[in-house]
Amino acid sequence: MDIKDIFLTPIYLLFVYGFAYLFRSRIRDKTIRPYFIPALTVKIVGALALGLIYQFYYGGGDTFNFYKDSRVIWEAFLDSPFNAFGIIFADSVHDPSVYEYTRRIYFYVDPPTFHVIRIAGFFSIFAFNTYSVIAILFAVVGFSGVWALYKVFYDLYPHLHKQLAYAVFFIPSVFFWGSGLLKDTITLGALGWLFHGFYFGVVKRRSLLANAVVILLAVAVIQAIKVYILLCFLPAAFFWIFMEYRSRIRSGFLRFVSLPVVIAISIPLSYRAVVKVTEENTRYRLDQITATTKTTADWLKTVGTMQGGSVYSLGEFDGTWTNMISKAPAAINVSLYRPYLWEARNPVMLLSALEAAFFLFLTVRIFFQIKLVRLFRIIGTQPVLLFCLLFAVTFSFAVGVSSYNFGTLVRYKIPMMPFFLAFLYIVQSQAVRKKSKSSKKVRRLA
């Protein structure tokens, strides 16, 4: 960040908030309208804070590496707009006509990261290559997705608008790591749009064509940058849609009988979808996932140790499916409920530890408030809860078993956090409502 950021940032913020207030005025629902500007604001604050933390606390990092590479696209634009757009929109990253520029882009050889560089480079053209402005534009794009995500939960549970707003917008780690010039901002926003398109298009069957386009675009973005998010989303989505139609069967006996059928159909369809999504990605093909996980875990563990990071261990990992699956309970626990407060080594980790402690508190509280049988009944009769739980658990396993240091884990796990916290809030509301009804019934009998 330099003097240019100080002068241009306020100007662009005026434009962003001008459009934001204009859009807010068109939100018809007065219940959710007040959340729009605060939710956008925390995203922007998170984006700017991320840059400041990386500059003055870490002394550099991914976000500035991405910015450095995007600056090459800006320089290409100054020479000729055709060169810049040739880099951004080229069908192949190996284009000899722009080799003069692409050879200076460090992440050019890493397609998932280079997709983020393309976006940052495109924004750079309109932001005069100003880091803070590019970060704000990333925050705006990411916010569009989380707002779409919130609209789904609000449509399902309007009485929980406050709790769900906190789950989607105001988890500190999510709006910090998921707002700036990083991969996570784009993938989290795309995940929100995918969730929105799936719910309104597939589940509710509204605006089928528009939602189909949204789904395809969101899938393309996630597949290009972080395909493993899709590997967790697709199985949960298949279970959701089958359970949704199963819940419409009036006969209790037929619903019971149809459950194994739903499972039998969902598993192979999920498998085929995962195979299709990963067929062109050698790292995440099913026959390569264990090897990729071991390589990633070993690398991150080494980096974390070298940088003085807080490394956690799940035991030895030999790269086999049985060994990896055996670590599922510990991996899920480390993603959902760790680092524990006593494991925090710096302010960023302390923030993550406080969030994890809150998740653990809510989970324990629910188990004290509601019987296990009742919990399964609630999940079984509300398919979106099953989706949230399956997505959160499988995603927690995926990142927990491959991260091996808390500094990396806090970033990797943010896509599942809104879904898991929303799940906890919804289940808790069901438990409280049930308890309230029981108390009223006792008072009437008395």
- Average pLDDT over every residue of 421-443: 71
Cα separation, 419 vs 433, in Å, equals: 21
Instruction: Report percent pLDDT > 70 for the chain.
Output: 80
The predicted pLDDT at position 306 comes to 45
Nearest in space to 320 (alpha carbons), one of 286, 292, 299, 290: 290
More confident residue, 257 or 373: 373
What CA–CA distances, in Å, run from 137 to 43, 275, 374, 395?
10, 34, 45, 27
Nearest in space to 297 (alpha carbons), one of 403, 175, 207, 218: 403
- Average pLDDT over every residue of 6-19: 94
* 40 touches 173 (CB < 8 A): no
Cα separation, 439 vs 179, in Å, equals: 44
Q: Which of 234-243, 256-265, 290-299 has the highest mean pLDDT?
A: 234-243
Cα separation, 445 vs 396, in Å, equals: 46
- pLDDT-derived band at 401, boundaries 50, 70, 90: confident
Nearest in space to 422 (alpha carbons), one of 252, 222, 195, 107: 195
- Average pLDDT over every residue of 114-140: 94
The predicted pLDDT at position 277 comes to 41
- Average pLDDT over every residue of 377-383: 84
Q: Which of 115-119, 234-238, 282-286 has the highest mean pLDDT?
A: 115-119
Q: Which residues pair with residue 405 across a beta bridge?
A: 311
- Average pLDDT over every residue of 8-28: 94
- Average pLDDT over every residue of 404-430: 90
The three-point CA angle 174-180-181 to 5° equals 135
The predicted pLDDT at position 215 comes to 96
The predicted pLDDT at position 431 comes to 74
Cα separation, 122 vs 35, in Å, equals: 29
Find where tokens 């199963």 sit: 246
- pLDDT reading at 24 higher than 60: yes
201-242: per-residue pLDDT in tens?
Answer: 999 989 999 999 999 999 999 999 988 898 889 889 988 888
177-208: per-residue pLDDT in tens?
Answer: 999 999 999 999 999 999 999 999 999 989 99
Q: What is the pTM of this model?
A: 0.87
Cα separation, 108 vs 73, in Å, equals: 12
- Average pLDDT over every residue of 119-138: 95
The predicted pLDDT at position 290 comes to 57
The predicted pLDDT at position 294 comes to 61
44-95: per-residue pLDDT in tens?
Answer: 999 999 999 888 877 888 899 999 999 999 999 999 999 999 888 876 567 7
- pLDDT reading at 274 higher than 70: no
Angle between the N-to-C axes of helices 372-381 and 417-445, in degrees from 0 to 180, rounded to the nearest 10: 120
Find where tokens 């939710």 sit: 39
* 301 touches 316 (CB < 8 A): no
The predicted pLDDT at position 436 comes to 53
